[in-house]
Amino acid sequence: METEGRVAVLRLTRPEKRNALDTATILAVERFFSAPPDGVGAVVLAAEGPHFCAGLDLSDLTETSTWESVRHSLMWHRVFDRIEAGPLPVVAALHGAVIGGGLELAASAHIRVAEESTFYALPEGQRGLFVGGGGSVRLPRLIGASRMTDMMLTGRVLDAAEGQAAGLSHYLVGPGDGLAKAVALAEKIAQNAPVSNFAVLSALPRIAEAAPEQGYLLESLMSAVAAGSEDAQARMRAFLEGKAGKVTR
């Protein structure tokens, strides 16, 4: 892990295993997000080597009991929930293989930047398995249950352009440009008012899943909380005084 200003870059460091996720790696990710460095306003999730993550290290599931497999899956849920539902915006820098559990990890980030080398797959069906890291919850929200069904039943692999069109990435960049783009986005995000970032990460997902009348109420309450903060007041004064940039193309 290294920091660049208010951005922390957390890397998967098992390139010899295509950054396959074993228990030690998952728990290391949990430790970071449980106690991120002071002053950090956003995180970039990256990886060493030619691949982001080739999924679960299958040696973790060798000859395990059903109950042990359940506990293993719940551990992944706990850690990935800490990423998705935590206080820090997370930008994933994707390249090469983003497969199985690697795709589940990427889906727990809030923004995804993919290089042209990126490819996505869910090969669990061909291995006699089912997703266990929250993929059946997060991925249908991104690409729809029908497209996920296709990937799991047939082993279909999506290239970077197909993944972008399907909704797996937000930005598609050239070879070697993913990390720089992810860091630039994270730096921009870290400059936002903390209460605004909190509202986007914590309130927006709940509003999106709520019944409309509940969503509207929660939106009103969150809007009032955000607008009433000292930070927001200062930013609005700066805008009205012509000291803040306007939105342009």
Measured between alpha carbons, how far is 9 from 23 in angstroms, rounded to an integer? 20
pLDDT number for residue 230: 78
The catalytic site residues sit at: 104, 124
Pick from 196, 203, 205: nearest CA to 218: 203
Residue range 122-146: average pLDDT?
94
Going by pLDDT thresholds of 50, 70 and 90, the confidence category of residue 95 is very high
Measured between alpha carbons, how far is 183 from 187 in angstroms, rounded to an integer? 6
Does the domain made of 2-190 have the CATH classification 3.90.226.10? Answer: yes
- Token representation of residue 139: 């991925």
pLDDT digits (tens, 9 = 90+) for 64-75: 788 888 999 999
pLDDT digits (tens, 9 = 90+) for 187-213: 999 999 999 999 999 999 999 999 999
Measured between alpha carbons, how far is 124 from 101 in angstroms, rounded to an integer? 9
DSSP state of 117: T
Residue 85 has pLDDT above 70, yes or no: yes
Question: What CATH number does the domain located at 194-240 have?
Answer: 1.10.12.10
Global pTM value: 0.93
Question: How crowded is the C-beta side of 26, counted as CA atoms within 13 Å?
Answer: 23
- Token representation of residue 188: 């921009």
Same fold, 2-190 and 194-240: no
Domain assignments of the chain as residue spans, ordered by start: 2-190, 194-240
pLDDT number for residue 50: 97
Residue 174 has pLDDT above 80, yes or no: yes
Residue 236 has pLDDT above 80, yes or no: no
